[in-house]
Structure 1
Amino acid sequence: MSHENAHSSNPEIIKRLNRTIGQLQTIVRMIEEHRSCPEVAMQLQAVEKAISQAKKTFIHNHIENWLEPGETVTKQALQDLRDISKYL
């Protein structure tokens, strides 16, 4: 069983999260500028979706890279999968 966190350096996830940081900074400015609720809500929805997608990709990559083909699944591995599945 490989417990390397190869996914932790996934450049696509990092790029997506960095983009989301920029979106959040823009939303803060929009609120400070008293922009309309629908405009702000739309941007918040976009950020929420981006974070959700990054989370799914991160977890899926972890699961795919976690077990080596042909390995026996241990009780601990099953428990770890149960623990992480609640975040999907």
Structure 2
Amino acid sequence: MRPMEHASHTDIVKRLKRAHGHLAGVIAMIEEGRPCLDLAQQLQAVESAVTNAKRALIHDHMEHCFGEGVDGGGKAAREALAEFKAIAKYL
């Protein structure tokens, strides 16, 4: 695989930093003894933020990396297909 930064990576990093902040907040809530319902709601928000970041990353990867590999044909297409199969398990 080749290291590559896509235009969406900046947005994905922002999403993950927000999720990181929310997760730190949940930890603080646990330490403060907040009600489980509040904790569950905040954990759902963290999970959703991470899921959305993951989905954006995978969709971006499929559009750019997979698309480029298929356009090249031959060995590049086979490598792109193998990479697609590998990343698809995270959907």
Whether TM exceeds 0.5 here: the answer is yes
Higher helix content, 1 or 2? 2
Q: Which runs of 5+ in 2 are unaligned?
A: none
1:76 Cα deviation after fit: 2.0
Q: How far off is 1:23 after superposition?
A: 0.4
* Number of equivalences: 87
Q: What is the rounded CA distance, in whole Å, between the counterparts of 1:70 and 1:79 in structure 2? A: 15
Structure 1 residue 8 displacement after superposition = 8.0
> Matched residues in 1 for 2:32 and 2:53: separation?
29
Structure 1 runs (4+) deviating above 3 angstroms are none
Question: How much is the aligned-residue C-alpha RMSD, in angstroms?
Answer: 2.2
CA positional deviation for 1:9: 6.8
Q: Which has the higher contact order (CA 8 A, sep 6+)?
A: 1
TM-score after normalising by structure 1: 0.86
Q: What is the TM-score with the length of structure 2 in the denominator?
A: 0.83
| Structure-2 residue corresponding to 1:52 | 51
